[in-house]
């Protein structure tokens, strides 16, 4: 019985790609379905959101390419699209268009509330955030800002507010009972990290991560990244004087939300502390 199951599994794994290839090459699936599949696979390869990828690669712009694309060339085509993303990220005009697109997608909010959320977000980033630089197949650098918080309705509401002001997208990680907020688009990251110029990160670890990201954005050199990534926490940075932080209350709220806890413990004489 086990042998039969193994044989059936091998046959299925062999036949499925052939069937997919035939359906793709002989247009048994529509170009729109091909487009949806390409966009989906790009979300897995780049961590960009579906909405952002649809903005970067509108259906009409790549429709003809998809009509002529053979299934066996799909992986190479995905690499080409990823290369285009990096090329677009260098264009000042495209940066402007992308910025307008992101602004127009946000709902209106009072300035005071937006600024409060930015300060609060900086505290969250100091607490549980991560400012990351990685490489894609040793060819290109990838950048990411990430927050992971416990999966709850309150945290979801909080992250939706952050998403509204700062951008990014949310992912539920059910296996870890977490909600992740993340930004992966280079142009958007270059814009978002300007917030740290107004409201500095406080912890040395996050400051080092930010400095390493900025240096990689400037150099855009995979070899430099590979040689220096082990040294990113060895930089000596000036520690902020908390008393001089004008946004300390908002920052502290975010930081405590990320790392703090409140507890009541009973001592032997039933005195609560």
Burial class (CB in 10 A: 0-12, 13-18, 19+), 48: buried
Is position 238 within any domain? Answer: yes
Domain that holds residue 66: 2-88
Is position 119 within any domain? Answer: yes
Same domain, 236 and 154: yes
For 112-155, the pLDDT digits (tens) are 888 999 999 999 999 999 999 999 888 889 999 999 998 888 88
**Pick from 77, 42, 35: nearest CA to 185:** 42
Same domain, 160 and 201: yes
Cβ-proximal residues to 207 (8 Å cutoff; 6+ apart), any chain: 200, 201, 237
For 240-268, the pLDDT digits (tens) are 677 778 999 999 999 988 876 666 665 65
Element (H, E) at 166: helix 153-166
Here the contacts of 25-31 (C-beta below 8 Å, separation 24 or greater) are 25/70, 25/71, 27/67, 31/63, 31/66, 31/67
CATH code at position 124: 3.10.28.10
Q: What does the pLDDT read at residue 271? A: 43
What's the pTM value of the predicted model, to 2 decimals?
Answer: 0.61
Mean pLDDT of 42-56: 78
Same domain, 113 and 235: yes
User: How far is 62 from 39, CA to CA, in rounded Å?
Assistant: 11
User: How far is 191 from 218, CA to CA, in rounded Å?
Assistant: 14
71 or 203, which is more confident: 203
Looking at the 3D structure of the chain, how many domains does it have?
A: 2
User: How far is 51 from 41, CA to CA, in rounded Å?
Assistant: 13
User: How far is 2 from 170, CA to CA, in rounded Å?
Assistant: 41
């Amino acid at each position: 019985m086990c042998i039969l199951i193994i044989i059936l599994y091998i046959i299925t794994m062999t036949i499925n790609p052939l069937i997919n290839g035939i359906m793709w090459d002989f247009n048994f699936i529509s170009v729109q379905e091909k487009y949806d599949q390409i966009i989906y696979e790009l979300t897995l390869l780049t961590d960009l959101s579906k909405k952002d990828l649809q903005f970067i690669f509108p259906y009409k712009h790549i429709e003809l390419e998809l009509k002529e694309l053979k299934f066996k060339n799909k992986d190479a085509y995905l690499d080409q699209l990823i290369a285009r993303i990096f090329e677009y990220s260098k264009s000042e005009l495209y940066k402007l268009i992308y910025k307008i697109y992101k602004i127009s997608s946000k709902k209106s909010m009072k300035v005071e509330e937006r600024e409060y959320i930015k300060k609060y977000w900086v505290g969250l980033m100091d607490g549980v955030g991560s400012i990351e630089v990685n490489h894609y197949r040793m060819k290109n650098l990838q950048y990411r800002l990430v927050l992971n918080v416990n999966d709850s309705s309150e945290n979801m509401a909080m992250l939706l507010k952050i998403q509204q002001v700062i951008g990014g997208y949310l992912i539920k990680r059910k296996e870890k009972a977490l909600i992740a907020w993340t930004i992966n688009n280079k142009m958007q990251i270059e814009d978002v990290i300007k917030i740290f110029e107004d409201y500095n990160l406080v912890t040395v670890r996050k400051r080092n991560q930010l400095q390493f990201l900025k240096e990689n954005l400037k150099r855009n050199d995979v070899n430099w990244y590979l040689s220096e990534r082990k040294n990113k926490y060895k930089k000596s940075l000036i520690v902020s004087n908390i008393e001089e932080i004008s946004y300390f209350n908002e920052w502290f709220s975010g930081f405590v939300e990320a790392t703090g806890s409140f507890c009541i413990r009973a001592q032997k004489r039933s005195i609560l502390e």
